[in-house]
Structure formats: structure tokens, C-alpha cells
Structure 1
Amino acid sequence: MDNIAGTKSGLTWAVHLSVAFLVILWLFPTVGLFVSSFRTADQIATSGWWKSMFPAEQNLVIRAAAPDTQVQQGDLYVIEGDLFEGRSAGTVSVWGISSRAIADYKAGDTAELNKGGTITVNPDGTYRMENTEEFTGSRGQRVFITATTPPEFTTANYESMLLDPRNSEGMTKAFFSTLTVTIPSTVIPIVIAAFAAYALAWMEFPGRALLIAAVVGLLVVPLQLALIPLLKFHNVIGIGKGYVGVWLAHTGFGLPLAIYLLRNYMVGLPRDIIENAKVDGATDFQIFVKIILPLSFPALASFAIFQFLWTWNDLLVAMVFLVDSTGETTVMTKQIVELLGTRGGNWEILATAAFISMAVPIAVFFAMQRYLVRGLLAGSVK
């Protein structure tokens, strides 16, 4: 009965559940990064992104208005304001005026200030400071509050990264520098590999089997193994550190996979089409350009996705083969690392910068993902 048409075996359901689990596992950090990029620093510090749609209890340290804003009302000097000014309004539960006693008072209570006078904090965050003498000093009184705040989302993080000259200039340079590295590093190996794959698939010449075996063997050579020898070789031939060196490094280590993938796809194309073209007098180059390339577009797109994602997210090769002392050739991954060093506490800025860096690869993947499976299954069935 298990083999009746229309029924699904337990293995099929296991495969579906496994795929769903992997998709959720992949989306979880991406969605988290996206949500965090729209949250404020206070909310990121107090709750996870999965709680972003619900009210959260936060411990905040806020300064009241400075003494120069005080006004005289009869015999009293008064400072009034709103602790939530510039923030989402919340509800204060407890508060204090000392870091060692942040919950000494309930909302609505009045506390005695160390320098004289009193302060009253209401549940809605408004406060009133009173004193029979003038308030002195250049800074306002610190108030520690525990408040339940509603969900808050802001575009200020993106405005800071994209519009603020202190940040946007570096990110803009890094964006175009990354494009300068990624586009040639994707196009060059595809062009070379397409010619090589056609030769290995449809042209007869001595040593073809050995070349195919060599390509398969090169798939397992780790990139890190050749970085230093390759850099020394670049210095000897005069390339040094620059875009050309990065392009050649990515091309060299991308070619084995590209040739293997494209060759497997091309060898599965109908032989009759190619033989008919040869009978009609077409040369190998004409067959390659007018027949093979159009039919091999799924495999080309599949490799392009992998190569683009790899080179766009690369940090190691860029740090080894690019001189970025002036900041002109700093790629986005390096720029984010620098932000991590200079603004390591600003998680909202780091999340925004990371998602900006992810936006282009995500767009490329979803634009070309329909070709991915067809390209990966190249040569698996006849």
C-alpha cells in the first residue's frame, strides 16, 4: 500500500521538513539584521529583535534640562520637561537619582536632590524640579528610570549611513570599490571558463581526460594555501597590490568550479544540434557563440551567482591584494570591520551597514535564482 500512486512516503515529508528548516535557518539572521537596522540603540540593548513588535521594559539614563532653562515662579525656581522628549513615549514604573539606587521611587513620588531642591517624576515621563534657590551647574540632573516603551522603528540609522558625510563618504567609496572588484572578478572567469568548457566537452584533442581530471583536482585546493606565493608572484611580475591582482586571484580560484560546472552542462546538450551545425559548415567558434552559449545560460547564471556572492562578501583576498591606506580601495566588508573597531557599541549602525552590504547580493540572488537549480543539476540526468 505504501507504493500506491498519489501517496507520499515518510521520506518525502522528511525532505520537505528539512528544506523548510534550512530555509528558516537561513532567513533567521537575515530578518534579524533587517529588523535591527530600523531599531534604536536603546531597544537593541534591552531586547532581541524578535520582541521588536511588543512593548519592552527598559532601564534608561536621561538628563533633565540644564539649569539655564529654569524659571522663577514666585519664591521657587522651577525646571520642567519630559524625560521621553525625542524618544517614544513610555510609562515610568520606578525611578531614581543614583546609579546605585535606580528604583528607589515610584512614578509620582518626590525625591530630595543632593544639591538641594526636589524632583518629581510622573508616570508619563514629565518631571518638575523645584528649589528655593537657583539651580547651579552646566548640566542637568541625571535621572534613572525603568519604563515600558512601545515598539519604535526609525530610519535614522540609514540616514546616518547614507546621508551623514562622516559615514556616507566611506560607505559610498567602499560600495563602488566592491563593485570594481566584483564585476570583473565575475565576468572574467565566466568568459574563460566558457571557452575551456566547450573545448573539454565537444572538441577532441590529446590529453583532454587529464585536463578534466586536473580541473576536478583543483577544486579542492584551498585559497589560503596560495595567497602568499601568489602575492610574491604578483610583486615579481610588477602587478603588486591593486585591482588587477584581486581580479587575477578571484579568477584563478573561480575557474575550476566554473569549468567543471559549465563542462557538465555543455556535455549534456543534444549532440544532434552540434553535428547538424557542423554539417552546415559552422565552425567551432560559431557553434560556441550561436548555439552553446544561449543554451548554457542557466549554467552561466548559476556560476555567476556563486562567484558574485563569493567576491562581494570576500575580505581575505581584498586585504591581501589591495592597498587601502588611502581608503580609496576599501571594500564594504573591510569598511564594516573598521566600523566595528571605531563604533563597536553602536549595534544599530553596524546592523544597518551590514544590511546595506547584503542588499546587492540578495537582489542578484533573487533575480537569478530560477537558473540556480537548473545549473547545479547540469549533467546529472540525460
Structure 2
Amino acid sequence: MSAAAQARPEARAGTRPAPRSGARAGRLAAGAAAGAVRVFLVLAALFWLMPTLGLLISSFLSPTDLNKGGWWQALTAPTRLTADNYERLLANDTITGALLSTVAIAVPATLLVVALGSFAGYAFAWLEFPGRDWLFLVVVGLLVVPVQVALIPVSELFGAIGLFETTAGVVLFHTAFGLPFAVFLLRNFFAEIPRELLEAARLDGAGELRLFTRVVLPLGGPAIASLGIFQFLWVWNDMLVALVFADSANPPITVALQQQVRQFGNNIDVLAPGAFLSMVVPLVVFFAFQRQFVTGVMAGAVK
């Protein structure tokens, strides 16, 4: 046998792939790292949710049990949990009226911002009119105006026209301060719609209104849903504007809970169920539109 023939097996042996044990060890290491990341994320989420969990458990404890110890006592004695706090809370006309007042403020303020912001966003994106770019810059500049700056002048204006301490006044204030962000967000989203699609609809005889309702709105659904969620959560959880402009005889839930503290002191048996009850509606709204919200955020990030 020649030397070349004898060297050929050795050459073939040198080109063999690495043993599978190395690849398996790499996969095990990657799996262990991914598992460690998941465990860390779960622990971080539990730590983040700990105050909410404590609030929930406290809302089901009687005042006597709460005075004896913290909310964690329910983990060892779950029989102490009771729904009496919620029964008393729902029988409290102040709290139930405050929930209805909050709905009466949050829903119109959200719908108005979404509707007006959609029309304005479409106009700035696709309609030609004099001063469009300069006007859009003014709208963007309004984003930096803080709410606190407008409290005194708007209070004087509302007092002069009879809107101070009214639900309509609070709705108008939230609408005015929510529109700049709505116009900015929706204009940028609508501008990414392919021009060919709009031109094809115009060739089919669609007017601007039909083009807006049949083409732009369905394509902009994720962005509109994201805007609606942001606006609703901001208005529902607001306390400053409600404290200044809302009717003191029928305040929103945030102001009503603050008044409970001022009147009765540290009454956690009222505050805990009231605060958790005020969290339920935003959570329901968020999870109901979660898919549209994520789609809108991701689309905005890509664009």
C-alpha cells in the first residue's frame, strides 16, 4: 500500500465533526442561562406585584385583623378573609357615585380625543392646506406644556363661562391636553400608509370621508387602540385635574378616596377595597384591548 493511501484515512479522520457531547453541553448551558433569566423575571414580577397583592389581601381583611398585623397574616390564616369591606364600600353612596362620576369623565374624554385626534392626524398626514407643517409644529410644541401651567388660567376661564366644578369642564380639560399627543401619534402612523393604496381608493370614486372611514381607520386600528388605552388610563387615574375642576359634591374616585383619608384618618378597610376597585376597570380595559395595544406599539416601533 502506498504512503498516500495510508495517509488518506488519517486525513479523513482529521475532518470528522466534533463530538456531540460538546454541542449537547452548549445546549445545556444555553438552556440553563435561559432558565435563570426566566426565574429572575418571575421573581422581579412578583416583587413588582407585591404591593398590589398586599392591597388585594388587605381589602379582604377586617379592620380588627388589620390592626393586629400586616396583610401577610392571611397567608397562614386564610379563614380571616372576608368580603364585608366590599359590601360596606358598595353600600357607600359616596364611593359608588364617585365610580359613576369617573366613568362619566373618562369615557367621553377618551372618545373625544380618539375621534378628534384621528381626524386631525389624517388631515396632517394626507391633506394639503396652507400652513400645514407650521401648524403641526405648533401641535408638537404643545406636548411640552405641563398641566400645572394651565390650571389657574383655565380655572378663571371656566369660572367665567360656568364650567368650573362641572363634569363637562373636566372632560374638556382632559380632551385639550390629550389632543396634542393624539395628533402627533396618529399623524405619524397614518403617514406610513402606502400612498398607492389611497390613490387606488380615490380612483374608485372614494371621497375623503369614505377614504378615512373605509381605508385609514381600519389600517390605523392598532394605533387608535393604543391611544385609547393610554388616554383612558391617564384620565381614570388622574387626581390633580379632578381635584381642581371636578364637582366637590360628586368627585371622581381618586378624589373621593382622598377625602375618605382626610375625614376618617387611616381607615385602610375603606381605602384598600376602594383603591383595588378603582384598579379593576383599567385592568379590564387593558386586557380587553391587549392584542391591539401590543400590535400598535410594535408597529410604531418598527415604523
Per-residue deviation, 1:188: 0.8
Per-residue deviation, 1:216: 2.4
Q: Distance in 1 between matches of 2:39 and 2:124?
A: 39
Q: Which residue of 1 aligns with 2:285?
A: 364
TM-score normalised by L of structure 1: 0.66
Q: Contact 1:313/1:333 (CA < 8 Å) preserved in 2?
A: yes
Per-residue deviation, 1:281: 1.8
- Aligned CA RMSD, in angstroms, stands at 2.9
Once the two structures are superposed, the pairs formed by residues 38-117 of structure 1 within 5 Å of their partners are 38-55=60-77
147, 150, 175: which is aligned to 2:99? Answer: 175
Per-residue deviation, 1:209: 2.4
Instruction: Identify the structure with the greater strand proportion.
Output: 1
Q: Could you say if the C-alpha distance between residues 234 and 14 of structure 1 is closer, same or farther in structure 2, counting changes exceeding 3 Å?
A: farther
Q: Which residue of 2 aligns with 1:152?
A: 80
Q: Distance in 2 between matches of 1:303 and 1:8?
A: 39
Q: Secondary structure at the match of 2:302?
A: coil
Q: Which residue of 1 aligns with 2:294?
A: 373
Q: AA paired with 1:39? A: L
1:207 aligns with 2:207: no
Show structure 2 runs of 5+ residues with no match: 1-22
1:174-203 Cα deviation digits (max 9, x unpaired): 111111111111111111100000011122
Q: Distance in 2 between matches of 1:322 and 1:345?
A: 24
1:246 aligns with 2:170: yes
Q: Distance in 2 between matches of 1:20 and 1:256?
A: 37
Per-residue deviation, 1:155: 0.9
Per-residue deviation, 1:380: 3.2
232, 242, 257: which is aligned to 2:156? Answer: 232
Per-residue deviation, 1:250: 0.2
253, 259, 280: which is aligned to 1:332? Answer: 253
1:265 aligns with 2:199: no
Q: Distance in 2 between matches of 1:347 and 1:283?
A: 58
Q: Distance in 2 between matches of 1:215 and 1:24?
A: 40
Q: Which residue of 2 aligns with 1:37?
A: 59
Q: Could you say if the C-alpha distance between residues 230 and 18 of structure 1 is closer, same or farther in structure 2, counting changes exceeding 3 Å?
A: farther
Q: Which residue of 2 aligns with 1:188?
A: 112
1:51-71 Cα deviation digits (max 9, x unpaired): 42115xxxxxxxxxxxxxxxx
Q: Could you say if the C-alpha distance between residues 264 and 349 of structure 1 is closer, same or farther in structure 2, counting changes exceeding 3 Å?
A: same
Q: Could you say if the C-alpha distance between residues 169 and 225 of structure 1 is closer, same or farther in structure 2, counting changes exceeding 3 Å?
A: same
Q: Distance in 1 between matches of 2:41 and 2:47?
A: 10
Q: Secondary structure at the match of 1:32?
A: helix
Q: Distance in 1 between matches of 2:203 and 2:30?
A: 48
Q: Which residue of 2 aligns with 1:161?
A: 89
Q: Distance in 2 between matches of 1:212 and 1:29?
A: 42
1:355 aligns with 2:276: yes
Q: Contact 1:268/1:379 (CA < 8 Å) preserved in 2?
A: no
223, 231, 234: which is aligned to 1:310? Answer: 234
Q: AA paired with 1:35? A: I
Q: AA paired with 1:154? A: T
> Which is worse superposed, 333-342 or 21-30?
21-30
Q: Which has the higher contact order (CA 8 A, sep 6+)?
A: 2
Q: Contact 1:34/1:355 (CA < 8 Å) preserved in 2?
A: yes
Q: Contact 1:261/1:375 (CA < 8 Å) preserved in 2?
A: no
Rg larger for = 1
Once the two structures are superposed, the pairs formed by residues 127-142 of structure 1 within 5 Å of their partners are none
Q: Distance in 1 between matches of 2:138 and 2:162?
A: 28
Per-residue deviation, 1:288: 0.4
1:265-293 Cα deviation digits (max 9, x unpaired): 21222322211101112111110011111
Q: Could you say if the C-alpha distance between residues 13 and 45 of structure 1 is closer, same or farther in structure 2, counting changes exceeding 3 Å?
A: same
1:11-68 Cα deviation digits (max 9, x unpaired): 999997886566445422222211111112233233332342115xxxxxxxxxxxxx
The aligned length equals 278
193, 200, 219: which is aligned to 2:143? Answer: 219
Q: Could you say if the C-alpha distance between residues 243 and 345 of structure 1 is closer, same or farther in structure 2, counting changes exceeding 3 Å?
A: closer
Q: Could you say if the C-alpha distance between residues 19 and 181 of structure 1 is closer, same or farther in structure 2, counting changes exceeding 3 Å?
A: farther
